[in-house]
Amino acid sequence: MSNKFTQYYFLGIGGIGMSALARYFKAKGYVVGGYDRMQTKITDDLTDEGIQVIFDESATSIPNEFIDPKKTLIVITPAVPKNHEQLVYFTERNFKIQKRSEVLGNITRQSKAICIAGTHGKTTTSTMTAHLMYQSHVECSAFLGGISNNYNTNLLLSTQSNYVVVEADEYDRSFHQLTPYMAVITSMDPDHLDIYGTKEAFVESFEHFTSLIQPGGALIVHNNVKIAPKLKKGVKHFTYGIEGEADFQAKNIRHEKGKIFFDFITPTESIHDVRLGVPVMINVENAVAAMALAWLNGVTNDELRTAMSAFSGIYRRFSHIFENEEVVYMDDYAHHPNELEASISSIKQLYANRKVTGIFQPHLYSRTRDFASEFAKALSLLDELILLDIYPARELPIEGVSSEMILKDVSISNKTISSKDNLLTLLDSKDLDVLVTFGAGDIDKMVPKIKNYLKERYKEDSNETAVQNNDDKLA
C-alpha cells in the first residue's frame, strides 16, 4: 500500500467488507472515516473504535480532514451510485478513487493470500480457515465476510504472520483483483447474472480467478465443481468433498449426542475424531476445505483438532436465537437457491420429525427473476413457508417481478406472502415448532423483534445459552 495517503474515506463504510478494510487501516495508524446511508450495529461499533461515520450524503457533510486529495484515498463499492453527492464531489476534484476490491487486492500482493471463492460456503469456509490458522503457531490476518462469533469481528490481525485469509467475492468480478497464494472454490452455481449475463461467462470468471494463483501455491476445488482451471506452472491442484473420490475428505461422519465427529483424510495421513464446531451437516464440507488449507500451510494435527472443536460459527449462519421446550428459533443468511436447499436440509436433519416453518425474504429483483423456480423447489422442502416482499438492495424494481413468482411454484400447501409489518401478527396464528428466518436483506432487523415476540408468547424460562453471544450483534 502506497505511503502517499494518510487518510482513507469509505463510501458505504457499514458494509461487511468495507468495515473490515476500515478497521485494518485504523489499526495501521491511518485516519479513517466514511459515509453510510443508515446507522447499524456495525457503524455503531466503528464509531466506538474511533472511526468517524456520517449518514448525510451531502458533500458539505464530509469532514474537513478528508477534503485534501493529496492525502485522502476514497474507497467505494459497486453499490454506490455514480450520482452519489459525495462521490461526485470527490470525482470532480480528482481524488484517487479505488474500489474495495482494488484496495484488498493491493493487500494480497504484499502477503501470502489464502482466498476462498464460491457461490455459497465461502464465508463459513474463510472464517473457519482464519480461525484454524489464527489459533495455531502459523497465525494469520483475515478479512472476513461475516462477523466471527469467536472474535466478534470481521477482521483479524497478526503481527507475526504474512498469511492473510480473504473471502473472494465473485460479484462484479471483484475477485479478479486478488493475488492468491492458495485458493478454494466451494461451489460454482450461477449467480449475479445481472452482471455476467450467461452461465458460461460466470464459469469463465472463476476459471480466470484460478489463473491468478501464484507458483508454489495450490488450488483446492470441491469435487462436484466442474471447472477447467487455468493454473500457472508450479501450482498444485487438489479436490475435496465428503462423497466420491477426493484428495481431502471427511470419512466416518457420525452423530453422537448432538455433536458431529469425522475423520479428516489428507493425501498422506488421517486425523481421527475431529469434532465439528457448529454441528450441522452443511459445515462438514466447509470444514474439510478449511482444514485442507490450514494443513497445507503447516497447522499441526493437534492444532487442527482443537481449533475445529472450538469454532463457534458466524453471525447469521445457523444462529440459534431462542429455544425452549416448545419452540426453536434460528436465523440464517441463505439467499441463493442452493444455499437455501442445503440450509433447510441441514435443519430438517438436525430437527428430525419436527415441523419447520421458514420465513424467507428474497434478495434482489434480478436474482428472483433468474432463479424463481429454483427458489420454489428449495423452499418446498419446508413444512410451512412465509414469503416476504423482495429486498431491492442496489436495484430498482423490475416490472412483473415479485415474490409471487416464487410462491406460485412452491409445492407445499402451507404457504403465504406477508409484509414485514404484518409478520408478527401472522405468527400469532401459526402453530410454531422450529422457526427459521432466511435472507440477505434487512430481515436481520426483524430478528430481535421475533425473539422478543417468542419470549412473550412462550413465557417460560428459555434455554438461551447458545445465543448469548449473539445478543449484542442484533442490529
Domain ranges for the chain, please list them.
7-100, 111-310, 319-473
Higher pLDDT, 52 or 244: 52
- Widest CA span in the chain: 64
Apex CA 353: angle with CA 465 and CA 125, to 5°?
55
Q: What's the confidence (pLDDT) of residue 61?
A: 97
**Residue 11 in contact with residue 77, Cβ under 8 Å?**
yes
CATH number of this structure's domain 111-310: 3.40.1190.10
Q: What's the confidence (pLDDT) of residue 336?
A: 85
Q: What's the confidence (pLDDT) of residue 190?
A: 66
Q: Mutual orientation of helices 282-296 and 301-310 as an angle, nearest 10°?
A: 150
Q: Count of CB atoms within 10 A of residue 153's CB?
A: 16
| Cα(368)–Cα(401) distance, integer angstroms | 7
Across 221-248, average pLDDT? 96
- The residue type of 286 is N
The answer to whether residue 474 scores a pLDDT higher than 60 is no
| Long-range contacts from 242-246, C-beta under 8 angstroms, 24+ separation | 242/284, 242/285, 242/288
Give the three cell numbers for residue 233: 506452472
Across 173-189, average pLDDT? 93
The answer to whether residue 281 scores a pLDDT higher than 90 is no
Q: What's the confidence (pLDDT) of residue 171?
A: 77
Chain mean pLDDT for the chain: 91
Across 250-276, average pLDDT? 94
Q: What's the confidence (pLDDT) of residue 194?
A: 64
Specify which residues 112 forms β-bridges with: 163
Segment among 182-191, 298-307, 372-381 with least mean pLDDT = 182-191
Report the percentage of the chain scoring pLDDT > 90: 76
The answer to whether residue 1 scores a pLDDT higher than 50 is no
| Cα(227)–Cα(240) distance, integer angstroms | 14
Higher pLDDT, 338 or 470: 338
Q: What's the confidence (pLDDT) of residue 3?
A: 57
Question: Closest Cα to residue 470, out of 312, 279, 277, 260?
Answer: 312
Across 328-337, average pLDDT? 90
pTM (2 d.p.) = 0.79
CATH superfamily for 319-473 is Mur ligase, C-terminal domain (3.90.190.20)
- Does the domain spanning 7-100 belong to CATH 3.40.1280.10? no
